Amino acid sequence: RLVLDATIRRGTSWSARQRWRPRDRSQYDGRMGMGLEERTKICKLIEAVIAADGVIALEEREFLLRVARRFEIPYELTEIGPIGDDGPLSDPGRASALLRQLSPDNQARVMALLVESAVTDGEVHPTERTLLMVAAAALDIDAAAVEERIARRLAHVRSGG
């Protein structure tokens, strides 16, 4: 659902959203048509956002594990510690370089996942916000649109949704 939310324009009816989904769920593998390397990069970016404030809350850890399962990232990569060999991407420059390596078709969806990961614990720490703004700049996404999305998603999370 997170991925769909990022790709559907505001005002699209629920029936239009359901028409977008394949009728046969076996056609949809949850990996957004990406290889393991690109899916691992996305998990590293999510990890960078949730670790940016120095504390990984239980909700954030569960979010990362859900995404990793959905992307079919091997269990040992998610349980050993930082995903991949280089560790988390705490440096905004490294994070933006990695974002630009992703396929253009998936960049907006990844941005939506990054925002979702930042708001999962009900607050967005200034360092998390900085990473999100750097990511938006790297992808030529308007900062005001990202701020609006953060506010909407925070309100949703805080309301218990």
Q: Does pLDDT of 9 surpass 60?
A: no
Q: Say what the pLDDT of residue 152 is.
A: 96
* pLDDT score at 160: 84
pLDDT in tens, 94-151: 888 888 888 888 888 999 999 999 999 999 999 999 999 999 998 999 999 999 999 9
Contacts of 131 (CB under 8 A, 6+ apart): 48, 49, 52, 92, 95, 114, 118
Pair of tokens at residue 154: 């925070």
Of the pLDDT bands very low, low, confident and very high (cuts 50, 70, 90), residue 155 is very high
* Structural tokens at position 92: 């905004």
CA distances from 5 to 57, 76, 91, 101, 110 (A): 24, 29, 28, 22, 11
Q: In which band, very low, low, confident or very high, does the pLDDT at 26 lie, cut at 50, 70 and 90?
A: very low
Q: pTM of the prediction?
A: 0.72
| pLDDT beyond 80 at 4 | no
pLDDT tens digits, residue range 30-88?
555 678 888 888 888 898 899 888 888 999 999 999 999 999 987 555 554 444 445 44
What local confidence, expressed as pLDDT, does residue 40 receive? 86
Query: How high is the pLDDT of residue 78?
Result: 52
| CB contact at 8 A, 154 and 128 | no
Residue with tokens 């028409």: 19
